[in-house]
Amino acid sequence: MSWFESLILGLVQGLTEFLPISSSAHLRLTAAFAGWHDPGAAFTAITQIGTEAAVLIYFRKDIARIISTWFRSLYTKALRSEQDAKMGWLVIVGSLPIGILGLVFKDAIVGPARDLRLTATTLIVMGIVLGIADRLAARDEEGGRHRAIRERKTLQQLGVKDGLIFGFCQAMALIPGVSRSGATISGGLLLGFTREAAARYSFLLAIPAVLASGAFEIKDVIEEPGHISWGPTVFATVIAFFVGYAVIAWFMKFITTKSFMPFVIYRIALGILLFVLTGTACPTPHAGESGSWRPPPTTPREREAAGERSRSASASLFTKRPKGKKQGVSHGSSGAGAFSGRKSAGELAGRGVCGAADARGCAGRGGHGSGERRVPRRGPAAGGAFRSLTGRAEIRWAHAPWPRARAAPH
């Protein structure tokens, strides 16, 4: 990851973490549209520590009071009825669902759950849920000709059952596109709480979950170094902290007088746009995933595993080997060959050299540019071969284990 990428991703994380539009989805989409590798779940979890540090500072007085009262209530019975002591227990209870489900479904979270089509679906569905919840809250607050104004609940009325429901709503945010704040605020509004109460408890509830997730990811990265670029990641975390603090201060003022409808419209529009773009394969549903956080393969076994990942991401490598000429390599994913020989690279690219993942698609396209028809020749399972009918040239192919040009073996 470059420093410029970390700057942009840090800004995106800080801007979207506290808004009900899903920061993990925006990190995923930013990387996909920019043509960068998916930053991955580890990068997301670590940069979220920066935004949670902003929560700790913004709510420092409330947090200090809750922690102090909760600890003292453990040995002072009279304090157990205090609201701050209850809030401490409610934060613990509400954090259990995401902790348990996060450990159980960890492999799915860092893999299949990052499919852009799933992200688009959750953006739209949760946008509709947020819109319904916001509308119900507005009806209670405004009343109507045949409806009296209904008083909504505050944090003093939050119970254990409510805390668990908030917790399961937060656990849904393990899927990119759901939004931690969007899910918990929607749940709170549907339970009858005010916008401010739902948002405040949502931010407090996220603290242990995000800090624990970040700590686990840091431990994994330390045990397996090379999976993440520490310098850019720390830089993105710092950027996310400062931007996140400004956003949370604005958001807490915004929700006291405004509706969530602008966020609802944005989520639905973004989800539809993403469906359209993935339907045209631009970006592909798994754009940027191949090799996003893995170090370059060094051993034959690693190269073989990387080749399998490459196949699913539609990347291939073609090598033309004319007799008596120097060999060259082309990136299969781009379709523009860097071949050497009698024909220049530009001539070959312009005459239909194919870079599709399925090498059989090249048959009959005249890759050499001379009108020769190429037919597949049976070969070992590890790869295939194409030989011109005249026998003058041969194209061998194999799936690229790493998206980087390499000289073909002599």
Distance, CA of 4 to CA of 9 (rounded, Å): 9
Distance, CA of 289 to CA of 222 (rounded, Å): 22
Query: Coil, strand or helix: which one is 272?
Result: helix
- 260 DSSP 8-state letter: S
Strand order in the sheet with 384-388: 328-331, 317-320, 394-398, 384-388, 374-377
pLDDT of residue 389: 37
Q: What percent of the chain has pLDDT over 70?
A: 66
pLDDT of residue 124: 94
Q: Place 201 in a pLDDT band, splitting at 50, 70 and 90.
A: very high
The one-letter amino acid code at 327 reads: Q
Beta bridge partners of 395: 320, 386
159: Cβ contacts below 8 Å, ≥ 6 apart: none
- 292 DSSP 8-state letter: S
pLDDT of residue 25: 84
Q: Is the pTM of this model over 0.85?
A: no
Flag whether pLDDT at 216 surpasses 60.
yes
Residue 172 tokens read as 């849904």
Q: Are 228 and 43 in contact (CB under 8 A)?
A: yes
Q: Which residue has the tokens 């929607």?
A: 186
pLDDT tens for 314-325 read: 333 344 444 444
Q: Are 41 and 23 in contact (CB under 8 A)?
A: no
pLDDT of residue 63: 94
Q: Are 135 and 142 in contact (CB under 8 A)?
A: no
Nearest Cα to 395, choosing from 346, 347, 348, 334? 348
pLDDT tens for 259-291 read: 899 999 999 999 999 888 877 655 555 555 544
Nearest Cα to 126, choosing from 12, 29, 17, 263? 263
Stretch 26-46: mean pLDDT: 82
